Structure 1
Amino acid sequence: MNAIYLKYLRMIRNIHAVTKETLCIKPEEVPYLLSLAQRHFTSPFLFSYMESYPEAVPALKQQSKMIMYQYYQIEHFTELTISLMDESGIPYYLLKGISLASYYPFPEYRKLGDLDLYIPDASALKKAEKVLEDHGFILDPDVSDHHSTYVYTFPKTGRTYILELHFRIVGLYQYEKANRIVDSIFSDSSMIPESQTIGRHTYTVLPPTECVFYMLHHMLKHYLYSGFGIRLLCDFTLYLNARNADIDYDKLHQWCRDSRIIHFYEIIIESCRKYLGLSDSVDPFLCRDNDQTLDDFITKILEDQDMGTVSHSTLVGSGSYKKINLWTYFCEGHLQMKVRFPKLHKCILLWPVLWSITFVCFLWNTHHYRHSTLKDTLADFRNTNSNSQLIKIFENQD
């Protein structure tokens, strides 16, 4: 791994270190470190190291102000939305966002993008949808296999924010057993809600073991998409360091083995331990991966952009394949058909028609939303699949 990446990781590691490491920044390193800070939205954490370099200060200040301003805006948006749920007696789980930011020494330094709520109960979900629409939330027509997207505009400021209302904790995989395991673990009857107080407000959040399992699948989905940057690894490190005693690692290992993401979990744990200061007391008996695999993985993470800034030209793969061929594309298309037609796909006789409609929609989205061609989109799919070979998810089932 190159020296700039290592120094950047040491700076990020200092976020929560009890004894801060003294780091000397050379003038020739500044442009590269600044680029990493901007790409991964970590300017607030690097500002103190580079404030003596005038060429870096304006960009660092601008992004830091934006991140902090957005934090307080999303915090307010979260309070507003949760108050609607509480007033209507709707049970929910707050995912990520200000919940994970609270584990940072300075929560407002953690970039926030939108608000995510998970409502596993179908009747409560329908009630929530009505409450939101009655209060000015507008449903986005975009189709997702695990959440509905709502847009809300504050009347006084005109600023718009996004709520992702999850009916499934993460998106579907081609590996059906993983879907069943995830759905079972995060069902309404399987979890004991936990309360978290942030400022003056108390929110319902996932229990610690389930939260770690969710973060793993959340990272995996973004990794399969086109990367997630350093932020999610920081979240993971800070959360596990803080909640280590509350996590049932035996149960977590079993879930990871059953859903065949245990190697991904091992890579995440050891990468965070090696580079970001994850405590040695966190899952200490885990089999350690080789250093080259960890270096390759963390290098890819640093070369990616932050997960909220990836290109929409990338075609999402639902898993990892040993080879890409026409059958692979058909499998992905079949899954997207099931996502687009959650009820109609149960009638096998309709499949030819539904496949055709799904393919036409895919071509439309490729041109109008991805602003790409079919050839380029499929090439991106092949590239992202090659990245997934590193983590051996689902034992690379074809």
Structure 2
Amino acid sequence: MNERETLIRQFIEIQKAAVGTETQEVPFDDADWDMLIWLSKRNKCGLLINNAVNKDPKHFCIKDETLKKWNEDSRMEFVKALNMFNEFKRVMESFDNNGIESVILKGYALAALYPGIFQRYSSDLDIKLNPKDKNKVRKLLTEDLGFIWIEADSKENVDIYYNQKLAIEAHFTLWEDYEGENIDILRAEKLDDPSTLIEVEVTGGLKVKTLGITEHLILQMFHIIKHYILEGIESRYFCDIAFYVNRYLDEIDYSRFWTTFEKMHFDDFCVIYFTECIKHFGMTDKALAGRARRLPDDELAFLNDIVFLGKRDINDRADYSLLGILSPYVNGGKKTAESKNGRMIQALFPSVKDIDKKYSYCKKYHLLLPVAWIHRAIRTIFFKLTKGGKVYGAGKKLKESEYRIKMMKNVGIK
């Protein structure tokens, strides 16, 4: 095995140990622990993996000083996660006191499935809220609770709020600003129908309202697929799905789940993703509902893409921002062109249907589409000039979109 393959195998092995799956004989004699620790944090499972290594440091051949430093960092991560949780409780209490109905998406509803709730943490909190409460929520968060509304990063149906302890994504639809055949399929499932919502206990008697069991699994997998297409995903999601399916094994409507993803043509990806969860993370194969297990065409490339969060260069910290190019794969219906040149033309000159909602004026007045193309180009140049390496330029976007298309084909998304 080369150095990258060894690193990937070692990382997956530690993650397996963290979730209690039987491990293999993967050697750690010459492990690059600085990189493994960095990857654990990048994949948002640092505390989970740190806990596993502390149970048997000799097996993982980690030096005492390295583990000591990591433990100190993990204590700081724990304090940060605790502060975030306390802030979350403050927000939820304020919502309740002001009659604002909220539904937790993923987040603490999934953290409750982990050995400890702080072993699953996020950079933000996803909450589904009623559109009629949008102004009320904004006033409460900004005026009463001290959050800042990040207008530049917000979307039509998602408001972003931030303070020093917590970031909040306030969703007023489950599908953000996406539109298309796939969204129509999901919308028809009525995943947030009030009659299907359930309560789950997070910890110490604290309960939160979340989506129904099958509904939440459908949302999780669509969320995973969406991010896999647009930027890459974290290995932490393997744990989410394995813990979730095993916990709600006999309560999931597998027929409904698979029918939904077959309609969107994402069923091949789900089979492959579930197979990896079964192979590495102890998930029951009941989730396949009789389907044969299937691995990616190139499993190492798939795991490498996930462990490194879709990045080929570990120093790459830029946001992908590939929505304008790859959104047809998420939305369904029209696909991108077959040829690389065709995809380039589509990316530079999107149709009225495919252009981002930021340029909605041309959706109403189609003659303004060329104006929207120029507006879009100027905006791209502006962000590149002001944010530098934090965003991709046009050429880099096109190059990285070709890589993502290659990764999608590897797991059955075409």
TM-score, scaled to structure 1 = 0.84
Q: What's the CA shift for 1:66?
A: 3.3
Query: Do structure 1's residue 165 and structure 2's residue 170 form an aligned pair?
Result: yes
Structure 2: segments with no counterpart, 5+ residues: 330-335
Aligned to 1:180: 184
Aligned to 2:243: 238
Query: Which residue identity does 2:159 align to in structure 1?
Result: S
What count of residue pairs does the alignment treat as equivalent?
383
Report matched runs for 1:204-353 at 5 Å: 204-290=209-295, 292-304=297-309, 311-316=317-322, 317-320=326-329, 321=336, 322-324=338-340, 325=342, 326-330=344-348, 334=352, 337-342=355-360, 345-353=363-371
Q: What's the CA shift for 1:256?
A: 0.5
Q: What's the CA shift for 1:85?
A: 1.7
Query: Do structure 1's residue 122 and structure 2's residue 131 form an aligned pair?
Result: yes
Q: Percent identity among equivalent residues?
A: 18
Aligned to 1:195: 199
Query: Do structure 1's residue 356 and structure 2's residue 374 form an aligned pair?
Result: yes
Q: What's the CA shift for 1:145?
A: 5.5
Q: 1:295 to 1:377 in 2, by over 3 A?
A: closer
Aligned to 1:156: none
Q: What's the CA shift for 1:330?
A: 4.4
Q: 1:392 to 1:328 in 2, by over 3 A?
A: farther
After superposition, the C-alpha distances for 1:215-253 in whole angstroms (9 at most, x for unaligned) are: 112112221233222111111111111112111110011
Which of 138-147 and 83-92 deviates more? 138-147
Q: 1:34 to 1:313 in 2, by over 3 A?
A: closer
**In the alignment, is the contact (CA less than 8 A) between 1:70 and 1:112 conserved in 2?**
no
Instruction: Output the aligned Cα RMSD.
Output: 3.0
**In the alignment, is the contact (CA less than 8 A) between 1:267 and 1:294 conserved in 2?**
no
Q: Distance in 1 between matches of 2:358 and 2:95?
A: 28
Q: 1:140 to 1:310 in 2, by over 3 A?
A: farther
After superposition, the C-alpha distances for 1:88-133 in whole angstroms (9 at most, x for unaligned) are: 22222101222211111122122321111012x3213343233323
Q: Distance in 2 between matches of 1:366 and 1:384?
A: 21
Aligned to 2:401: 381
**In the alignment, is the contact (CA less than 8 A) between 1:196 and 1:202 conserved in 2?**
yes
Q: What's the CA shift for 1:204?
A: 0.8
SS at match of 1:86: helix
Query: Which residue identity does 1:79 align to in structure 2?
Result: K
**In the alignment, is the contact (CA less than 8 A) between 2:84 and 2:165 conserved in 1?**
no
Q: 1:225 to 1:338 in 2, by over 3 A?
A: closer
Which of 256-265 and 312-321 deviates more? 312-321
Aligned to 1:15: 18
Q: What's the CA shift for 1:198?
A: 1.8
Report matched runs for 1:66-145 at 5 Å: 66-119=76-129, 121-135=130-144, 136-142=146-152, 143-144=154-155
Q: What's the CA shift for 1:172?
A: 5.0
**In the alignment, is the contact (CA less than 8 A) between 1:169 and 1:186 conserved in 2?**
no
Query: Do structure 1's residue 150 and structure 2's residue 172 form an aligned pair?
Result: no
Q: Distance in 1 between matches of 2:115 and 2:165?
A: 28
SS at match of 2:233: coil
Q: Distance in 1 between matches of 2:302 and 2:143?
A: 45
**In the alignment, is the contact (CA less than 8 A) between 2:199 and 2:207 conserved in 1?**
yes
**In the alignment, is the contact (CA less than 8 A) between 1:253 and 1:262 conserved in 2?**
yes
SS at match of 1:198: strand
Aligned to 1:50: 57
Query: Which residue identity does 1:323 align to in structure 2?
Result: S
Which of 22-31 and 208-217 deviates more? 22-31
Q: What's the CA shift for 1:367?
A: 2.8
Q: Distance in 1 between matches of 2:121 and 2:192?
A: 29
Aligned to 1:391: 411
**In the alignment, is the contact (CA less than 8 A) between 1:315 and 1:380 conserved in 2?**
no
Query: Which residue identity does 1:238 align to in structure 2?
Result: F
TM-score, scaled to structure 2 = 0.81
SS at match of 2:162: strand
Q: What's the CA shift for 1:186?
A: 4.4
